[in-house]
Amino acid sequence: MNVPVPRTIEEYLAQLRAALRGADPAMIQDALYDAEEHLRAELAEREDHDEAAMLAEVVGSYGAPEEVAEIYRDQEVTVQRALRTPRSPPRRSAIGRFFGVAADPHTYGALFYMLLALATGIFYFTWTMAGIGMSLGFAVLIFGIPFLVLFIGTVRMLALVEGRIVETMLGVRMPRRPLPGNRELPWLKRIGAMFTDARTWSTLLYMLLMLPLGVAYFVIVVTGIVTSFALVVAPWLTLLLPYHGVMFDGEPWSPTGWEIWAIPAISLFGVLLLFVVLHLARGIGHVHGQVAKHLLVRGGDRVA
Amino acid sequence: MSDALAHLKKKFEKELASGTVALALLAVLARAPEPLYGYLIAKRLEDSGGVLGGKQSTLYPVLRNLEAAGLLESRTEPSVSGPPRRYYHITDAGREALADWSATWNATRDSLDTVLAGDSK
């Protein structure tokens, strides 16, 4: 307890951030948002607007930074346990692990995310390119700068929305509240801080990256699922429609003799391929979640 | 010895608070004529005393979880004093949960009262 009692809200938040060091960055962002909202409200209630006196009392009511950090760490563990679908018990055998992917809710979240990524990817890319292009074009005009600021602001909101999508579907903890700027600074400095904030630029990169990624994800899911189902079903159709059903190398294929055994073999291969696709989707979902977390959530210090 | 007792008391209070705070938040918001933001809710609970008058930073994560569960809804409004304030109001599902939880609470309190009264005889 050698930390001095904070005298300004900024100091309090800095101590809280220090006390939460090493915790999930998304949780840190939420904790800072809550604390700032509460402290500002407390300050607004006071008649004398004495920040230091308010903070001295707040340490008793809201909690000292270390206590608050402790509370959020505890809460986070409880929340994770209560709100998340319980993980299916890990399967021991290799076969169990291979087929167990079908019972994992993250698999279907990832599949759906990959389909959705085409739409969101196109939207993010278009929004970003249009914004950058128009900002450059307007730069010579009087409203060029306000336009650029407005555009960057929308991109930061989109980052929060994308974070919610990623958390829901991919199960990666993302912030639930926007990152507060520093209210002490004049608004021009705050706008400046948006541009020196590395996260603004990494968010822009993420938005642009989402188009190729979204197209790739969509193609992987659609071709993977369609190919698997075709392999599962098509061989059996040769029995139902012997001469017209399945074309093989330009000729209708009607298996005779030993080729009969190719029907269940190909079908089984289709089933295996389907599970490989599920594994691929879950893997991509996991990797994408990490990418999103690194590009959309800051890990280091906050905006000055 | 008294140190250990004090620690146990603190632990007991913390567990009691974390078990009942969601019910208290629903009750405060159900009785409020208009949506409230975190600070006002904290002040109302502070006035009520008891274990719920504890550290107010515990309330915000619980509010967020209740919202995620659909028992509360919120909207933000800009404020002159700082970041936009988040105003919470209770949903129909929240009122239903409140009625349900209140019944559980009353049953628990009655049974606990009986046990405690038996103890004092």
**Owner of token pair 């009655």:** B110
User: Which residues of chain B from 85 to 114 reach within 8 Å of chain A, CB to CB?
Assistant: 85-86
Domain assignments of chain A as residue spans, ordered by start = 9-83, 92-304
Dig out the tokens for B21 from the structure.
């705070």
**What is the per-residue pLDDT for A116?**
94
Dig out the tokens for B106 from the structure.
């009353």
Q: Quick one: average pLDDT of A17-30?
A: 83
Spatial distance between the Cα atoms of A291 and A11, rounded to a whole number of angstroms: 31
Determine contact: A38 vs chain B, CB below 8 A. Answer: yes
**What is the per-residue pLDDT for A96?**
76
Over the stretch A170-190, which tens digit does the pLDDT of each residue have? 888 777 777 666 666 677 777
CB of B35 closer than 8 Å to CB of B89: yes
As a 3-state breakdown, chain A gives helix, strand, coil percent values, each rounded to 5, of: 75, 0, 25
In chain B the domains, ranked by start, together with CATH numbers, are 2-120 (1.10.10.10)
Is the ipTM higher than 0.85? The answer is: no
Which pLDDT band, with edges at 50, 70 and 90, does A219 fall under? very high
Q: Quick one: average pLDDT of A273-292?
A: 92
Residue pairs spanning A and B at CB distance below 8 A: 81
User: Which residues of chain A from 161 to 200 reach within 8 Å of chain B, CB to CB?
Assistant: 176, 180, 183
For residue A62, give the nearest of B56, B62, B81 by CB distance.
Answer: B56
Spatial distance between the Cα atoms of A103 and A116, rounded to a whole number of angstroms: 21
Over the stretch B25-64, which tens digit does the pLDDT of each residue have? 999 999 888 888 888 888 888 777 677 777 788 888 888 8
Determine contact: B18 vs chain A, CB below 8 A. Answer: yes
Q: Quick one: average pLDDT of A38-65?
A: 81
- The more confident residue out of A163 and A90 is A163
Determine contact: A157 vs chain B, CB below 8 A. Answer: no
Which pLDDT band, with edges at 50, 70 and 90, does A89 fall under? low
- The more confident residue out of A285 and A177 is A285
